[in-house]
Amino acid sequence: MDSDIEWTKTNRGTQAFIYKKQKYRKRCSNKDGSEISVCCNKSCGISIVLQNGIIKRYPQKHLHDELQHTPEIRNLLQNISTAYRRRSSVLPPIPKTLEDIVIPDSLKFLQNGDRYVTFDNPVPNRLIILCSSETLLALSMFSQLFL
């Protein structure tokens, strides 16, 4: 094994390694048993070839800066990425059209029970008005409103 290789994991948990301050992930295996790994930076197309953990071919120049993070920072960034991925799996999808917007009853009222969704008409020209009772009363005192 090459002593300059530091084994780690990608943000998705697959095996990766750091060599000369650049992080690589496995792309594929060749018939001769060697493995082609690519730089983890999406904008960089540099690859490196390993045979039994020993570097067979190494590129000269990357298209981006070197990794500047300590192992602790890399772990923190990995945990943040995992948290965002888990968070997105429990949140509802982002609506693509006005018809896709559904306001649940639990969000139509304030904590004190007052109505917050004052108006919500159906498509084609959907209009949603969010306003508390106090704000609606204050607005009713004006003769002109600018929207």
What is the pLDDT, as a whole number, of residue 69? 62
pLDDT tens per residue across span 86-127: 877 887 777 888 888 888 888 899 888 888 898 888 777 888
What is the pLDDT, as a whole number, of residue 65? 65
List of residues 6+ apart from 26 with CB closer than 8 A: 14, 15, 16, 35, 36, 37
Task: Tell whether the model's pLDDT for residue 132 goes beyond 80.
Answer: yes
1 — pLDDT class (breaks 50, 70, 90): very low
**Strand bridging mode 117-120 / 128-130:** antiparallel
14 — pLDDT class (breaks 50, 70, 90): confident
Do the Cβ atoms of 41 and 55 come closer than 8 Å? no
> Peptide bond preceding 122: is omega within 30 degrees of 0, i.e. cis?
no
Query: If DSSP codes are grouped into helix, strand and coil, which group holds residue 47?
Result: strand
What is the pLDDT, as a whole number, of residue 47? 86
CA 137 to chain centre: 42
Query: If DSSP codes are grouped into helix, strand and coil, which group holds residue 79?
Result: helix
pLDDT tens per residue across span 22-81: 888 888 988 888 899 888 877 677 888 988 888 888 776 776 666 566 777 778 878 888
What are the structural domains, with CATH classification, of the chain? Answer: 6-89 (2.20.25.240), 98-140 (no CATH)
Q: How many CB atoms lie within 10 A of CB 46?
A: 17
